[in-house]
């Protein structure tokens, strides 16, 4: 691919103008939006407004005057179109882990099997499995026979056909970027009387999702990756409208109460999705996410998906056939439809290579034990940047620069 070809891609890019929404450092190519999205001007201005004007001047009256109290539902409704959900089914609150605990518990309520079984993938995101393990332990301590059953991805379909209660899966594998067929697996689970919970943390904002059309039961996702809500941004959850009437939230906090400011002694859950609120919403972080979502206005999920795949395809094409890259092993699927908005490569020196890239201005991340992971966020990345990042990687490998001792020193966060 020539420089002219790359320039033509950027010229023809319908999303190119959206780069202006983000405040990225100069001389930095950010291929880590899959871990933490960059700062948007809208978020910066909103947080300043909330701190200085709303909190600073209007104090507690801001809950009503600036509708802080409505933010969990308001932000949820903005996320809904990005995941293919009709209104009234998405709520922004808490973290992925807390939301997952709530939904797993709700999904298991009323199940009458002799042994409660949560089925998941062996290489699912570990934190999701920790939550499931914790719930299983809690059930066992209360005398309920329970099991977290983990199987390889290739054995999921046959395992669904066996006895289980809930299927817990991450749509895009955080290590490899491989995508599950949401529609097929959800339908298969329903055929065998399983409810399904999908983790959309690596999907929302870059994938064309259709939760309603796929008849998904429950879903969770985070706000700080491709949605660009900022570090520690609140997560979101989805509950299909058909399930909300019989829902039971195990964390009965006051914000999920039908009349929270009546301070009634007995808990009465709110109707609809709002019953899954628990504690007081985090207004600063939720306001940042609310503003960041404005960057998606006027775009479709299909446009986002098409560009992210085009960016990753260009990167791959620039690597293939070059002997410099032979030491890297692609662990993501080559077929574009089978992967999310990331590419992962294995290498024995993955950590020092990632650190050398970062020092050279190409921000990637490392995942133990030996993966270099690159995220291709369509809102702010250009084709020219992707081409330059491939060239920088080539130079680092060719020179062996990553072998310098400082690149092997690990900080607390890798």
Q: Which of 199, 217, 290, 349 is catalytic?
A: 199
Contact 292, 36 (CB under 8 A): no
How far CA 5 is from CA of 309, 314, 336, in Å, comes to 17, 11, 20
d(C-alpha 121, C-alpha 161), whole Å: 15
SS3 349: coil
> What does each C-alpha distance from 373 to 244, 351, 382, 401 come to in angstroms?
37, 10, 18, 19
Selected catalytic residue, list 22, 101, 174, 224: 224
The H or E element containing residue 365 is strand 365-367
Beta 29-30 vs 362-363: how paired, if at all?
parallel
Q: Which of 142, 101, 129 is nearest to 251 (CA)?
A: 101
Measured CA angle at 162 (ends 161, 163), to 5 deg: 125
- Known catalytic membership, residue 225: yes
- Establish whether 267 is a catalytic residue: no
Residues in Cβ contact with 312 at an 8 Å cutoff, skipping those fewer than 6 apart: 336, 339, 341, 342, 343, 374, 376
Annotated active-site residue 373? The verdict is yes
Q: Are strands 116-121 and 146-151 parallel, antiparallel or unpaired?
A: parallel
Which tokens go with 250? 């195990």
What is the dihedral sign for C-alpha 297, 299, 302, 305? Answer: negative
Contact 79, 92 (CB under 8 A): yes
Alpha helices (H) along 22-125: 41-48, 62-65, 71-79, 96-108
Active-site residue identified among 225, 307, 339, 367: 225
Q: 22, 30, 125, 366: which is the annotated catalytic residue?
A: 125
**Per the residue annotation, which of 128, 367, 373, 383 is the catalytic one?**
373
DSSP notation for 125-178: -HHHHHHHHHHHHHHHHTT--EEEEEE-GGGHHHHHTSS-SEEEEESB-TTT-B
Is 224 designated active site?
Answer: yes
Annotated active-site residue 345? The verdict is no
Active-site residues, by number, are: 125, 199, 224-225, 373
């Amino acid at each position: 691919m020539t420089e002219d070809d790359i320039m033509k891609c950027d010229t023809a890019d319908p999303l190119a103008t959206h780069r202006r929404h983000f405040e990225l450092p100069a001389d930095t190519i950010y291929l880590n939006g899959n871990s933490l999205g960059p700062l948007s001007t809208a978020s910066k201005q909103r947080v300043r407004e909330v701190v200085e004007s709303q909190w600073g001047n209007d104090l507690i009256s801001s809950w009503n005057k600036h509708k802080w109290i409505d933010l969990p539902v308001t932000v949820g409704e903005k996320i809904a179109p990005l995941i293919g959900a009709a209104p009234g089914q998405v709520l922004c609150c808490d973290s992925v882990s807390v939301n997952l605990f709530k939904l797993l518990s709700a999904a298991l309520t009323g199940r009458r099997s002799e042994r409660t079984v949560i089925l998941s993938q062996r290489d699912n995101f570990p934190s999701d499995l920790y939550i499931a393990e914790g719930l299983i332990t809690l059930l066992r301590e209360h005398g309920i026979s329970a099991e977290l059953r983990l199987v390889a991805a290739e054995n999921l379909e046959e395992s669904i056909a066996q006895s289980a209660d809930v299927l817990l899966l991450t749509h895009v594998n955080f290590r490899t970027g491989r995508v599950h067929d949401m529609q097929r697996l959800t339908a298969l689970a329903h055929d065998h009387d399983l409810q399904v919970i999908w983790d959309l943390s690596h999907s929302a904002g870059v994938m064309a999702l259709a939760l309603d059309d796929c008849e998904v039961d429950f879903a969770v996702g985070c706000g700080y990756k491709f949605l660009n809500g900022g570090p520690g941004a609140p997560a979101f959850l989805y509950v299909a409208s058909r399930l909300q009437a019989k829902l039971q939230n195990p964390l009965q906090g006051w914000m999920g109460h039908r009349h929270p400011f009546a301070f009634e002694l007995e808990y009465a859950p709110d109707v609809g999705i709002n019953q899954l609120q628990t504690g007081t919403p985090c207004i600063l972080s939720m306001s940042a996410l609310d503003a960041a979502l404005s960057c998606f206005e006027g775009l479709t999920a299909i446009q986002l998906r098409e560009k992210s795949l085009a960016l990753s395809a260009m990167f791959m094409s620039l690597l293939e056939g070059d002997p410099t890259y032979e030491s890297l092993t692609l662990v993501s699927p080559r077929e574009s439809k089978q992967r999310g908005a990331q590419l992962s490569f294995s290498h024995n020196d993955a950590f020092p290579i990632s650190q050398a890239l970062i020092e050279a201005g190409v921000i990637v991340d490392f995942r133990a034990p030996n993966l270099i992971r690159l995220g291709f966020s369509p809102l702010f990345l250009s084709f020219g940047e992707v081409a330059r990042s491939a060239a920088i990687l080539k130079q680092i490998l060719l020179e062996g620069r990553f072998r310098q001792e400082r690149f092997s020193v690990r900080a607390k966060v890798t």
